[in-house]
Structure 1
């Protein structure tokens, strides 16, 4: 298996807050991926034009950026990184608006669902 060619990033790109870190650690452990990561991608769609897509993965792929933050790893592709620089990832267990939430300073328009934005 060939080595994966990825870059190391820092929390200037995305910072994982305590609630998200705790929840992510639990999810990764449940899946038997204690050393895994959360992949965040920005894809077209949603009510404002762009939306976040999140998956649990084993680790970075070629050209990814790996960001260790608050005890967990986040991986992001270079194109998505342009849209999320300076963001924070939090978690809420609110029944209506629960789940992972990205607070993104680059989003010029956000929708009320909090999952879609325009930059």
Structure 2
């Protein structure tokens, strides 16, 4: 098995806020992936043109950028990194808009659900 070739980034790329980190650590442990990571990708779609896709994964793939923030590992592919630079991930318990929310300074248009944006 060959080594994975990835870069290490910092919280200037993405920052995981306290509310989200606790939930992510619980989810990773539930899946038996306490050393795993959250993959954030930007894909086409949503009401504004782009949307976030989040998955729990074992770790980085080739060319990924790995950021450790608030004790959570986050992996992002280089293309998605262009769109998420400077973002923060939080978690809300709100009944209407609950769940993980990305606050993205690059988004020029966002939809009300907070999951879709245009850059």
Flag whether TM exceeds 0.5 (same fold): yes
Residue of structure 2 equivalent to 1:77:
77
The CA RMSD over aligned residues, in Å, is: 0.4
State the shift of 1:23 in Å. 0.3
CA-to-aligned-CA distance 1:21-55 (integer Å, 9 cap, x gap): 00000000000000000000000000000000000
Residue of structure 2 equivalent to 1:18:
18
Equivalent position SS for 2:91: strand
- Superposed structure 1 runs of 4+ greater than 3 Å apart: none
Q: How many angstroms apart in 2 are the aligned matches of 1:59 and 1:96?
A: 32
Q: How many angstroms apart in 2 are the aligned matches of 1:43 and 1:77?
A: 11
Q: TM-score, structure 1 length as denominator? A: 0.99
Structure 1: runs of 5+ lacking an equivalent: none
State the shift of 1:93 in Å. 1.6
Equivalent position SS for 2:100: strand
Q: How many angstroms apart in 1 are the aligned matches of 2:26 and 2:112?
A: 28
Q: How many angstroms apart in 2 are the aligned matches of 1:115 and 1:72?
A: 21
State the shift of 1:94 in Å. 1.4
Equivalent position SS for 2:24: helix
Structure 2: runs of 5+ lacking an equivalent: none
Alignment length (residue pairs): 119
